[in-house]
Structure 1
Amino acid sequence: MVTQAAMASEPPGTSTAARGAAEAVVTNPGTALVKKLGTARTAGTWLNSAGRPVVAVTDEGSAAAVRQAGAEAKVVSHSMNELKSATATLRSAPRVPGTAWVMDYRSNQVVVQADSTVSAGDWSQLTRTASGIGSFVRMERTTGKFTTRINGAQPILSTGGRCSAGFNVTNGSNDFILTAGHCGPTGSTWFADNQAEQQVGQTVNSNFPGSDFSLVQYAGKAGAGADVVAIGNGNGVRITGSGDAAVGQRVFRSGSTSGLHDGEVTGLDATVNYPEGTVGGLIETTVCAEPGDSGGPMFSDGIALGVTSGGSGDCTTGGTTFFQPVNRALSQLGVQLIVAAPSADAQGGASTASAAPAPSSSSQGALSPGTASPGTTTPVTSTGVSETLASRLTDPRNIGPGLLVIAGSIFALVATRYFRAEQDRKAYQRYYSATWG
């Protein structure tokens, strides 16, 4: 599956579809209560299994205020100030690649993780640092490695690696792809094919490490359908705005290697010590990802939340994935999401369809968003589909009989991945059919 929506472009001289302002969305009403009560009296907020906001507070007076506002209160021992002080101490300690930490609001702890590359000596030193902070710092060893999710994927390729396109954004004059910063430095040129013949654009602003986002500027405009991200099977999700992720929120991620997968937000403001450098302020989730999914979009109910940064594990065994928050990237870059203008139907009038420009190359999908509601799927059509890898591998005119065994193994692997992706797509459909009716 290719995130074709973020790659849609048009030839110079063609008109683009009408655009509207992106909607700012509050994903957790408890955030306003946290801001009102202050970080000395609260310790984060999350959504429970029923979608109701829960606010962690340090005293009964604050708990009463939370309940009066209609949210659920949980009295905890440590304030947000204490949790942040703990993470500041961890950040000031000698950097250990392969480690990460995040504030776990639900357990009122700071969780420190170390992957399989962290030595016993470094683990002992980190444990001593954590012990000096307090018992609310929890240490965990995790399998796999914390890595950025680059290499081995399409649709955007450069000499620096391969990544997934994220969301289309604009500064009012030029259009860009918002993707991961570790995908390539400023000046990187991106293509839609392995032959470097179909140029997508060039990185004009890259932030990594520290943060993990970048802008790839289109040579022209993003084109019609720029508000849709592909999720496979010819379908896409219309993006109508951006929001801040909430702990406990169910989210979906789309990437060019592993396709569509879902999971839950487990932490905010996470810090990850990748081998290439440290990145802070990330969203921690249970969504899986694999190399090549970097930069791909994370969303929920048609709301853009983040772009894929990195993590551990894969989509066979599961894992942890971290995302760069979209709103923070948009603010620092001075750009906004490209969304479709409200239809006339939504305003009580007759709708008028605008003609979609043809794609600039055969590998870039021409999108047909139609009149889908926010969060629902909408058709995505592609042109010029080439012969599949499987058909070439199984053609006896091209390979010897011995390679048929290899082709059979590859087919079995692809079939397993397909069925897993189908399960995720069905979960997506069930979730949104209940949400949107």
Structure 2
Amino acid sequence: MKHRRISKKRAAMATGAVVALIGAGVTFQTANASEESAKVTVKVLDATAAGNLASTLSQDLGGDTAGAYYDAKAKALVVNVVDEDAARTVREAGGKARIVQNTLAELTSARQTLTDRATIPGTSWATDPVTNKLIVTADRTVKGAQLAKLQGVVEGLGEKAELRKSAGEFKPFIAGGDAIHSGGGRCSLGFNVVKGGEPHFITAGHCGDAGSKWAESGGGPEIGTMVDSQFPENDFALVKYDGDTEHPSAVNLYDGGSQDITKAGEATVGMQVTRSGSTTQVHDGEVTGLDATVNYGNGQIVNGLIQTNVCAEPGDSGGSLFSGDTAIGLTSGGSGDCSSGGETFFQPVTEALEVFGAEIG
């Protein structure tokens, strides 16, 4: 593998001209006036540090938090809480507290209602901490009785959910950092990793099955064997390198350069991210939601995904989503393209590494 090769569940709705609102406008409670007068210092953080702080506060506050997001303009972490005591804890830690209407438990219950009553191909739902709601999206295939059913379930959830319509069609991006080929199909390599002291790489699970052979080009020499693949529910796979293929921990930027990858991290809503894939190469955007459930149809339902407004197309599957030198996700699927925009979903890298017992390297 060439040196420049390498690489490049939980969500909300991506913005763009192809998306139209069906539901009403969003409403939520703002922070108490005491937020402004409290004599505390909001820490200036980059997105990765904000994500780490969000994870710590989530553990400390438990049910008293309702999600968090990164305010890129202020470079601050905003944490949704349900009472003033929790707000005080957030401020003392250097975050900005916002008291909201819907608790995380209430949003989790709403997710279960959607799962029980509205499991319809072509739909997704994700937790959006900015609106303090579940954003439910129906693609263009959801019509007639199915759309009416979905609308009824969402309306029954009141202020906990909002329904939006996408002009695209949700599907896995089968076919897209550097290209990898197997049996006539093409995907993209995600990140190089190490497992048991030996070199491997991770990509999307829907790209192939365990035992499949992978090459750098169609009909070219094999470079690795897929040793594990998980799809649906998850969307990640592990390929073990054969032979002496070079495997630097970097992502192809398609401009003659590469981005070194030194670690894996969690996504945070508002985080600026970059995607690299073999079809559309490099595109930027931001994380718009977490814990997304996406129904690709044919029983292919994936949970716990990251949702973004970064475009992607068939062939980009498995490719890298990263923020600076931090690996964030693997391209799963979505709707739209890099001309009209759309929504794209990513498998969190941290989950794949944990399941496989691997590490970035």
TM (norm. structure 1) is 0.69
Which stretch has the larger CA shift, 155-164 or 25-34?
25-34
Give the whole-Å Cα distance in 1 for the aligned partners of 2:177 and 2:273: 22
User: Secondary structure of the residue that 1:332 maps to in structure 2?
Assistant: helix
1:66 CA displacement: 1.4
User: Secondary structure of the residue that 2:292 maps to in structure 1?
Assistant: strand
Letter in 2 for 1:117: T
Quote the residue 1:261 is aligned against. Answer: 283
Quote the residue 1:312 is aligned against. Answer: 335
1:232 CA displacement: 0.9
Give the whole-Å Cα distance in 2 for the aligned partners of 1:284 and 1:130: 20
Identify which of 124, 139, 152 aligns with 2:148: 124
Identify which of 29, 35, 42 aligns with 2:65: 42
Q: 2:61–2:86: 8 Å Cα contact kept in structure 1?
A: yes
Quote the residue 1:293 is aligned against. Answer: 316
Quote the residue 1:5 is aligned against. Answer: 5
Give the whole-Å Cα distance in 2 for the aligned partners of 1:163 and 1:73: 42
Alignment of 1:135-150 (within 5 A): 135-150=159-174
Quote the residue 2:85 is aligned against. Answer: 61
Give the whole-Å Cα distance in 2 for the aligned partners of 1:209 and 1:3: 32
- Is 1:335 matched up with 2:358? yes
1:243 CA displacement: 0.5
User: Secondary structure of the residue that 1:106 maps to in structure 2?
Assistant: coil
Give the whole-Å Cα distance in 2 for the aligned partners of 1:153 and 1:30: 29
Quote the residue 2:11 is aligned against. Answer: none
**Cα gap change, 1:59/1:231 in structure 2, threshold over 3 Å: closer, same or farther?**
same
Unaligned runs of at least 5 residues, structure 2: 8-47
Deviations 1:148-190 (A, max 9, x none): 1112897211126210001011212432110000001112221
Letter in 2 for 1:310: G
User: Secondary structure of the residue that 2:6 maps to in structure 1?
Assistant: helix
Quote the residue 1:251 is aligned against. Answer: 273
Q: 1:190–1:202: 8 Å Cα contact kept in structure 2?
A: yes
Quote the residue 1:90 is aligned against. Answer: 114
Letter in 2 for 1:6: I
Quote the residue 1:325 is aligned against. Answer: 348
Q: 2:176–2:319: 8 Å Cα contact kept in structure 1?
A: no
Deviations 1:90-136 (A, max 9, x none): 12235211100001101000010000011221111112222233332
Give the whole-Å Cα distance in 2 for the aligned partners of 1:257 and 1:170: 26
Q: 1:27–1:245: 8 Å Cα contact kept in structure 2?
A: no
Letter in 2 for 1:167: F
TM (norm. structure 2) is 0.84
1:80 CA displacement: 0.7
Q: 1:153–1:291: 8 Å Cα contact kept in structure 2?
A: no
Letter in 2 for 1:126: L
**Cα gap change, 1:120/1:160 in structure 2, threshold over 3 Å: closer, same or farther?**
farther
Letter in 1 for 2:279: T
Give the whole-Å Cα distance in 2 for the aligned partners of 1:94 and 1:139: 12
Alignment of 1:12-411 (within 5 A): 26-28=49-51, 29-39=53-63, 41-48=64-71, 49-151=73-175, 155-159=179-183, 161-194=185-218, 196-223=219-246, 226-276=248-298, 277-338=300-361
Q: 1:99–1:272: 8 Å Cα contact kept in structure 2?
A: yes
Give the whole-Å Cα distance in 2 for the aligned partners of 1:169 and 1:206: 15
Q: 1:27–1:243: 8 Å Cα contact kept in structure 2?
A: no
User: Secondary structure of the residue that 1:63 maps to in structure 2?
Assistant: helix
**What is the alpha-carbon root mean square deviation over aligned residues?**
1.9
Letter in 2 for 1:58: V
**Cα gap change, 1:229/1:67 in structure 2, threshold over 3 Å: closer, same or farther?**
same
Which stretch has the larger CA shift, 279-288 or 130-139?
130-139
Deviations 1:206-229 (A, max 9, x none): 000000000111113553x51111
Deviations 1:342-369 (A, max 9, x none): xxxxxxxxxxxxxxxxxxxxxxxxxxxx
User: Secondary structure of the residue that 2:5 maps to in structure 1?
Assistant: helix
1:4 CA displacement: 4.5
Larger-gyration structure (1/2): 1
**Cα gap change, 1:27/1:200 in structure 2, threshold over 3 Å: closer, same or farther?**
farther
User: Secondary structure of the residue that 2:294 maps to in structure 1?
Assistant: strand
User: Secondary structure of the residue that 2:306 maps to in structure 1?
Assistant: strand
Unaligned runs of at least 5 residues, structure 1: 8-24, 339-437
1:51 CA displacement: 1.8
Deviations 1:37-75 (A, max 9, x none): 112x11101111222000001112211221222211111
1:27 CA displacement: 4.6
Letter in 2 for 1:197: G
1:191 CA displacement: 1.8
Give the whole-Å Cα distance in 2 for the aligned partners of 1:92 and 1:312: 24
Percent identity between matched residues is 44
**Cα gap change, 1:326/1:26 in structure 2, threshold over 3 Å: closer, same or farther?**
farther
**Cα gap change, 1:233/1:60 in structure 2, threshold over 3 Å: closer, same or farther?**
same
Deviations 1:14-52 (A, max 9, x none): xxxxxxxxxxx655213312221112x111011112220
Q: 1:242–1:304: 8 Å Cα contact kept in structure 2?
A: yes
**Cα gap change, 1:94/1:52 in structure 2, threshold over 3 Å: closer, same or farther?**
closer
Give the whole-Å Cα distance in 1 for the aligned partners of 2:145 and 2:184: 33
Give the whole-Å Cα distance in 2 for the aligned partners of 1:91 and 1:133: 13
**Cα gap change, 1:91/1:221 in structure 2, threshold over 3 Å: closer, same or farther?**
farther
